[in-house]
Amino acid sequence: MNSNPSTASTIKLNEASLSRLPGNVPIPKYDRRQITNGIVHIGVGGFHKSHQALYLDDYFHQHPGSDWGICGVGLLDYDYDRRMRNALLSQDCLYTLVERSPKSDRARIIGSITRYLFAPWGGNNQPETQRW
């Protein structure tokens, strides 16, 4: 594969750092604060993030202010859901999707997940960072 980004300098992914990403990395151009959660997805994983969340990210670019944002939910207090919680909350629910083909790899930032709840924390124990 080619077109690999340089790892000489890393940028912590979050809402504040989007403007510092290289210009060839597509980022959400819509106002994520204007998106209302209309979808609850239990068990956020790679398939969901590379399909439904990707399609909604495309949709939001065409229809800003939608009410179809995603609230991800982790139900189980086990390693995978804890890691997903830590990753999404530390990145303002943004993540990088890499599309691979024989010709090149393309990275883009997905912003359609706007909230993540970790059920083992309970309803009133969610940290303030759950919805940036």
Per residue in 58-100, pLDDT (tens digit) is: 999 999 878 899 999 999 888 889 999 999 999 999 999 999 9
Give CA angle at 42 (40, 47), nearest 5°.
105
Q: What does the pLDDT read at residue 124?
A: 54
Count of CB atoms situated within 10 Å of the CB of 22: 10
pLDDT confidence of 55, banded at 50, 70, 90? very high
Could you tell me the pTM of the whole model? 0.84
Count of residues making up the chain: 132
What mean pLDDT is predicted for residues 103-126?
Answer: 86
**Cα distance between residue 23 and residue 60, in whole Å:** 20
Tell me what the mean pLDDT of segment 23-44 comes to. 94
**How is residue 125 written in tokens?**
């124990």
